[in-house]
Amino acid sequence: MKTNRRIQGKVRTQWLALGAALVVLAGVLVAWALSQAAERVQVVQVARAVPSGQAFTIEDLTVTGVASDTQVPGLVPAQSLDALVGRIAAVDLEIGALVQKGMWRDEPLLAPGERSVGVVLAAGRYPAGLADGDLALAAPMAPGGATEPTPVRVIDSAVTAEGDASFTLAVAEASAVAVAQLAATDQLVLVGQSVGAAS
């Protein structure tokens, strides 16, 4: 009888110890979950796909929580969501993507009545420092050519270590073909123009 009572006592003690351990574990898990929720920040997320070149609408964007230690630089805080409406997507954005700096631009690449023209120029055929957003004049190399200097705007640029450069230019529709022909026949030069100059 005493042996049975001892066995029952040991079993009861083991169950009590196991129950206490489970209570402690549950408390730890609840505390961890609460701390994780407290350390989340609200950022802007893509709610529906937005192709490059399209303006954001309020329906395209939403807010989501991410861990505060998420290693993604340039995330847009939730309070800036309204400021993104009307901005132009610079890249194709898929549903669920977290919006980061560099994914949008303020202006469309091309204004109404403009066409894009790609050109590759050797060093010395364009002004040093010519960069995205700058204005320039596209002119023929040969003086007195049939093509008049044409105002252009740089919308994309890349320069190699050797100094050669590729530019995508925004050109008025009436002059786009002439500028493209000069570029194709290696007769194009770009001349710097101040931002305040009339186009």
| Per-domain residue ranges of the chain | 1-37, 40-105, 114-193
Q: Which residue has the higher pLDDT, 34 or 198?
A: 34
For residue 69, pLDDT over 70 is answered with no
For residue 183, pLDDT over 90 is answered with yes
Distance CA(125)–CA(135), nearest Å, equals 15
pTM over 0.95: no
Structure confidence at residue 118 (pLDDT): 92
Of 26-40, 51-65, 146-160, minimum mean pLDDT range:
26-40
Cβ within 8 Å of residue 53, ≥6 positions away: 88, 89, 108, 109
Count CA atoms closer than 13 A to 100's CA, side-chain side: 12
Structure confidence at residue 72 (pLDDT): 64
For residue 198, pLDDT over 50 is answered with no
Report DSSP letters for 77-143, one per residue. Answer: BGGGHHHHTTPEESS-B-TTPBPBTTSEESS-SS-TTEEEEEEEE-TTSS-TT--TT-EEEEEESST
CATH entry 3.30.460.80 includes domain 40-105: no
For residue 22, pLDDT over 90 is answered with no
Give 118-174 pLDDT, tens digit per residue. Answer: 999 998 999 988 888 889 999 998 776 667 889 999 888 888 878 889 999 999 999
Structure confidence at residue 199 (pLDDT): 42
The proportion of the chain whose per-residue pLDDT surpasses 90, expressed as a percent, equals 32
Q: SS3 for 168?
A: strand
Cα–Cα nearest to 188, from 119, 127, 97 = 119
Distance CA(99)–CA(85), nearest Å, equals 12
Cα–Cα nearest to 92, from 141, 125, 51 = 51
